[in-house]
Amino acid sequence: MTRDVVIVGGGIAGLSAAWHLRHRDVLLLEAGDRLGGRMRSDERGDYWLNYGAHLFPAPGTLVDRITAECELETVPVTGGMMGLAVGDAILDGGRVESYPFRLPLSVRERIAFARAGVKVQLAVRRYHAAANRYDFENDRSFADFLGPLPPKVHAIFSCAAHRATGELDELAAGAGIGLFALVWAGKGSLIARNLRGGTGQLPAAMGRELGDRARTHARVEAVRADGDELAVSVNGEEVRARHVIMAANAPYASPLVGPVAPQAADALAKLTYGAFLSVAVETRETTAMPYDGVYAIATPGRVFDMFTNQAHALRVGPRTPGGSLMLFTGAQQAAALMRESDEVIVERFLADLHAMYPQTRGVIANATVQRWELGNVYASPGRGALQPALEGALGTHENLHLAGDYFAELGTMEAAAQTGLAAAERVDSRIREAVNV
């Protein structure tokens, strides 16, 4: 029996493809024990813990549309998303432009911070106007673009770069500028909502609809051409398919597509990923917390880069007991720290949380570590040149299609879902054409 399409990988890219092809004979194979990939959460009474993706895109986007089709609800993030904490100073309100004057910095550091900020702001305008984002400022690093910075200012910009899981000298200048374009868009940005009940609700609901057409514990080991079809090896079985949508992360996808599309395999192997390490913290306070009105604070110089208040969406009406935080760090610091035991990681994260907010002492119910070795994909210098090898239908019979967040300069759920949709539409029209011939 030959399937219409086999999809490899059950993150939002693969799920989005399966969702749009569910009227076909589709089979999705996911290596892990759950669907969702980097979308993972657990419910905790009225609250939820998020371990990975947390900010959902705006109404009108693809992810928002699928969320509505699954009868799930996103709620807007109304609290501050651009807080910055340096030393004992926590700035969680006011204009970003005022930060250089409100932080505990020397005159020299203030000038360097303001100067670099203006430079990035001007570049963000060019970024928005750029016709091709892959090639925009892609020939030098973000560190080269910024020029030399005093250590404290370097730490602030590094902390922002860690959202892309790269260091300043690893990110392409364009990717660093694009990151600030996204962050500065703030609440007007494409990503400023939370999924009620936790991010993992979405892949779980999509999985329920797909039923036995989505299998977990199914790690694909090989893909080979067999006549004008493809044969997919999984758990000692070979599944034949007219089309394969490869939606595994690039480093896993590369050897799998090698025999069918060597140039794409080569480009996939060159894409750069960095690590994320997150700690989801359940709290049991009975009184208001100073961060109740805040969503996210960047925390340079701490063991985590970002403090986020995942209970924020529920802080309307009377203050109910309890709360949910997600603290995370990215790039080289995350990669180094994830080698430690869970106990050591939790101890270090909580020590910094208590230093930042002493009110959190004695109210920690539990803290769970999540290691994301492939936390996010980021564009490094030269990334633009890889793009042509990844696009369109691949293989001699043009029946292999790639999907995944690595098509974007910075991985997001929306970017990943869009690539799944594009692959699905291509496959669907090819199947229709074949039937009509």
CB environment 328-354: b (16+ within 10 A), e (fewer): bbbbbbbbebbeeeeeebbebbbebbe
Q: Which amino acid is at 371?
A: R
- Residue 416: CB minimum distance to ligand FAD, A: 4
Report the distance separating Cα 208 and Cα 5, nearest Å. Answer: 19
Closest distance between ligand FAD and the C-beta of residue 27, in Å? Answer: 11
Nearer to ligand FAD, 405 or 428 (CB): 405
For residue 9, which phi and psi values (nearest 5 degrees)? 110, 125
Where helices occur in 83-200 by DSSP H, the ranges are: 99-102, 107-129, 142-146, 151-161, 173-184
In the complex with ligand FAD, the residue whose CB is nearer, 113 or 158, is 158
Number of Cβ within a 10 Å radius of residue 118:
12
In whole angstroms, how close is the CB of 170 to ligand FAD at the nearest point?
A: 17
Q: Which is nearer to ligand FAD, 86 or 416 (CB)?
A: 416
Complex with ligand FAD: residue 37 or 100, whichever CB lies closer: 37
Q: Which is nearer to ligand FAD, 84 or 410 (CB)?
A: 410
Structure tokens given for 253: 């996808």
Shortest distance, position 411 Cβ to ligand FAD, whole Å: 3
Q: How far is the CB of 22 from ligand FAD (least distance, A)?
A: 17
CB of 237 to ligand FAD, least distance (A): 13
Q: Closest approach of Cβ 365 to ligand FAD, in Å?
A: 21
Instruction: Identify which of residues 90 and 220 has a Cβ nearer to ligand FAD in the complex.
Output: 220
Q: How far is the CB of 310 from ligand FAD (least distance, A)?
A: 11
412-437 CB burial, b ≥16 within 10 A, e <16: bbbbbbbbbbbbbebbbebbeeeeee
What type of residue is 94?
G
H and E: helices and strands count for the chain: 14, 19
Residues binding ligand FAD (CB under 6 A): 8-14, 29-32, 37-39, 52-55, 191, 219-220, 247-249, 252, 276, 278, 328, 372, 375-376, 404-405, 411-414, 416
Shortest spacing between CB 250 and ligand FAD, in angstroms: 9
**Who contacts 266 (Cβ-Cβ below 8 Å, separation ≥6)?**
254, 389
Helix (H) or strand (E) holding 264: helix 262-270
Tell the smallest beta-carbon distance from residue 77 to ligand FAD (Å). 10
Within 38-93, strands assigned E span 41-44, 47-50, 56-57, 74-76, 83-86, 89-91
Alpha-carbon torsion (396, 401, 402, 407), positive or negative: positive
Lookup result for tokens 């690893």:
170
End-to-end CA distance of the chain: 21
Q: How far apart are CA 94 and CA 227, in angstroms?
A: 63
Q: At 378, which amino acid appears?
A: Y
Is the Cβ of residue 34 or residue 348 nearer to ligand FAD in the bound state?
Answer: 34
* Angle in degrees, CA 325, 326, 332, rounded to 5: 155
Nearer to ligand FAD, 111 or 185 (CB): 185
Least separation in angstroms between residue 177's CB and ligand FAD is 19
Residue closer to ligand FAD by CB (options 146, 271) is 271
Beta-bridged to residue 75, according to DSSP, are: 194
Residue closer to ligand FAD by CB (options 109, 305) is: 305
User: Largest Cα–Cα distance in the chain?
Assistant: 73
Measured from the CB atom, the residue of 100 and 404 that comes closer to ligand FAD is 404
